[in-house]
């Protein structure tokens, strides 16, 4: 595997889920596979789970890991072609990616969107530049538009917990004080659209995801109706795609609480974390027995390990 930037890079998403679940049972079964190989983890934005779980996954495979917070410790990167570099950006991504590729056998990269220029963000320039110029396989640790390692862990969690073949999975928008990327919901929608689950997305009007990403998901503007009979509730805030990067609603009634969860079919509560308590979800739901957010985060280690394993096997 030469790149892992979205589910489109995977021919058998559920096969990869199975592989990740089997690594979870024996994490050290391939602990020599990555011997003498180096993984570089490059962060332009903050991270807790992604950084630690990917580092742990690499260690389970016997790899060496180098981590750099380029956002704070590196040069600001230029991404435009043919510009006079007389701004605050000291290094072009062409050289930066190629140089990091000299030191690493695989590169993981996190780069959030600017949320001002939709066309630019949706070209996913930084991750695609690393794919183009680094000369080594590249893993998205959340790009401007997708977070595939998260979605793989989400799908693992649903597969572990589902009580029937085609569970009802609901992706629900919730309010936030900041404009956040669409990466997590975009990615979740794309991965769930590869399954035979019943898939509903609920959000206030104006928060529609890009049509080709939402795909065949049912859109339901009435959150209570969406929650009826749901087996899994995945809650996440995102800013508007249509009115790009804008916060169109701060409606507190979209927060997930016990009353809303009581409409579901004993539904499990999911979130990628970090989650803001009593803004996105009530304490009661997050601390309650139906919350599976810690299991989800635990699965991040094995989603990263399954992807790294396939990449190493393809080197
Ligand atoms: C990121 C996002 O894409 O929404 C990362 C999620 C895995 N989340 C945030 O930036 C949350 C920031 C905040 O202040 O709550």
Torsion sign, CA atoms 36, 137, 5, 117: positive
When mean pLDDT is compared across 19-33, 68-82, 118-132, 278-292, the lowest value belongs to 68-82
Domains of the chain, CATH where assigned: 3-146+300-313 (3.40.50.1370), 150-296 (3.40.50.1370)
For residue 270, what is the DSSP state? Answer: E
How sure is the predictor about 34, in pLDDT bands with cuts at 50, 70 and 90? very high
Mutational pocket test of ligand 1: of 47, 114, 151, 181, the residue with most ligand atoms within 8 Å of the beta carbon = 181
Backbone angles phi and psi of 99, in degrees to 5: -70, -45
Contact by Cβ (8 Å): 233, 269: yes
**Res 71: pLDDT:** 82
> What mean pLDDT value characterizes the chain?
98
Chain segment 213-261, per-residue pLDDT in tens: 999 999 999 999 999 999 999 999 999 999 999 999 999 999 999 999 9
Q: Rounded to whole angstroms, what are the CA distances from 12 to 18, 71, 144, 155, 161?
A: 10, 34, 24, 13, 20
Distance from the alpha carbon of residue 91 to the mean position of ligand 1, in angstroms: 27
35 burial level (CB within 10 Å; 0-12, 13-18, 19+): exposed
Global confidence as pTM: 0.98
Distance from the alpha carbon of residue 234 to the mean position of ligand 1, in angstroms: 15
159 burial level (CB within 10 Å; 0-12, 13-18, 19+): middle
Distance from the alpha carbon of residue 86 to the mean position of ligand 1, in angstroms: 31
Write the secondary structure of 100-154 as one string of H (helix), E (strand) and C (coil). HHHHCCEEEEECCCCCCCHHHHCCCHHHHHHHHHCCCCEEECCCCCCCHHHHHHH
What is the mean pLDDT of the segment spanning 66-84?
93
What is the mean pLDDT of the segment spanning 66-91?
94
- The partner residues of 198 in beta bridges, in order of sequence, read 168
**Res 72: pLDDT:** 87
**Residue of minimum CA distance from atom 10 in ligand 1:** 180
Chain segment 114-152, per-residue pLDDT in tens: 999 999 999 999 999 999 999 999 999 999 999 999 999
Tokens of 72: 């704070």
């Amino acid at each position: 595997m030469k790149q892992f930037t979205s589910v489109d890079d995977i021919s058998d998403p559920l096969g990869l889920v199975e592989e990740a679940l089997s690594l979870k049972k024996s994490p050290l079964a391939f602990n020599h596979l990555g011997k003498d190989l180096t993984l570089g983890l490059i962060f332009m934005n903050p991270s807790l789970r992604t950084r630690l779980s990917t580092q742990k996954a690499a260690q389970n495979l016997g790899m060496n890991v180098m981590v750099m917070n380029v956002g704070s410790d590196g040069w600001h990167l230029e991404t435009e072609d043919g510009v006079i570099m007389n701004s605050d950006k000291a290094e072009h991504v062409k050289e930066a990616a190629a140089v990091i590729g000299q030191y690493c056998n695989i590169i993981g990269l996190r780069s959030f969107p600017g949320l001002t220029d939709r066309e630019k963000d949706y070209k996913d320039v930084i991750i695609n530049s690393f794919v183009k110029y680094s000369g080594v396989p590249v893993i998205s640790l959340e790009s401007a538009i997708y977070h595939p390692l998260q979605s793989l862990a989400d799908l693992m969690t649903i597969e572990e917990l589902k009580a029937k073949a085609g569970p009802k999975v609901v992706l629900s928008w919730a309010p936030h004080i900041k404009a956040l990327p669409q990466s997590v919901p975009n990615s979740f929608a794309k991965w769930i659209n590869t399954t035979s689950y019943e898939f509903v997305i609920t959000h206030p009007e104006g928060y529609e995801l890009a049509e080709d990403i939402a795909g065949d998901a049912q859109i339901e503007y009435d959150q209570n109706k969406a929650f009826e009979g749901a087996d899994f509730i995945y809650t996440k805030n995102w800013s508007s795609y249509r009115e790009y990067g804008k916060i169109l609603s701060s409606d507190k009634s979209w927060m997930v609480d016990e009353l809303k969860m009581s409409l579901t079919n004993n539904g499990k509560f999911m979130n990628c974390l970090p989650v803001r308590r009593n803004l996105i979800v009530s304490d009661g739901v997050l601390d309650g027995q139906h919350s599976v957010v810690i299991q989800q985060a635990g699965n991040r280690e094995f989603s990263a390990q399954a992807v790294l394993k396939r990449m190493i096997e393809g080197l």
